[in-house]
Amino acid sequence: MKTQYTLAMLLLVVGLALAGCGGRTDDQADQVFHLRTGLVEGRMAFIGVGGAIDGVANPELAVKAGERVRIELHNGDGISHDLALPDLGRQTPPVMGRESVAALTFTAGSSGAYTYLCSVAGHRQAGMEGQLVVTP
Ligand SMILES: [Cu+2]
């Protein structure tokens, strides 16, 4: 029963994440970034997976204004995390349990540097912080 409950919760979280896309799918994003949670040199981090950010801790996510951006957060350490962009009022649901995934899709607005971070208490201070950089 516990497994079924966990599965139901997972489907709910994925459903909510998809609902946040407004019906658009992964393919329709101009930029897709995959970040995996883990430890780098004893500090908590978002670690880039694939492309130019592969293996980079708290990579700078470079996008252009007006682009559709999707950030997928993969749980790599079994600790509860999320990814929040406080300046944009955006936040993924929490990823609880190893290999769970949550995503955030949005259209990049005005140029500037926006902090992304994990909002779980103490995690930003432990290292989970990076920048989304929007250029014209
Ligand atoms: Cu965290």
pLDDT digits (tens, 9 = 90+) for 34-69: 999 999 999 999 999 999 999 999 999 999 999 999
Q: Would you identify the CATH topology of the domain 2-135?
A: Immunoglobulin-like (2.60.40)
> Where does the pLDDT of residue 1 fall: very low under 50, low under 70, confident under 90, or very high at 90 and above?
very low
Going from the Cα of 13 to the center of ligand 1, the distance in angstroms, rounded, reads 17
**Whole-angstrom distance, CA of residue 35 vs CA of residue 5:** 26
Spatial CA neighbour of 78 closest among 60, 57, 99: 99
Going from the Cα of 78 to the center of ligand 1, the distance in angstroms, rounded, reads 10
* Ion ligand 1: residue ranges with CB closer than 5 A: 81, 118, 120, 123, 128
Going from the Cα of 136 to the center of ligand 1, the distance in angstroms, rounded, reads 30
* Domain residue extents for the chain: 2-135
Phi, psi of 73 (to 5 degrees): -105, 120
> Where does the pLDDT of residue 28 fall: very low under 50, low under 70, confident under 90, or very high at 90 and above?
confident
Q: What is the pLDDT of residues 78-129, one digit of tens each?
A: 999 999 999 999 999 999 999 999 999 999 999 999 999 999 999 999 999 9
Going from the Cα of 89 to the center of ligand 1, the distance in angstroms, rounded, reads 18
Query: Which tokens hold the place of 31?
Result: 């930029």
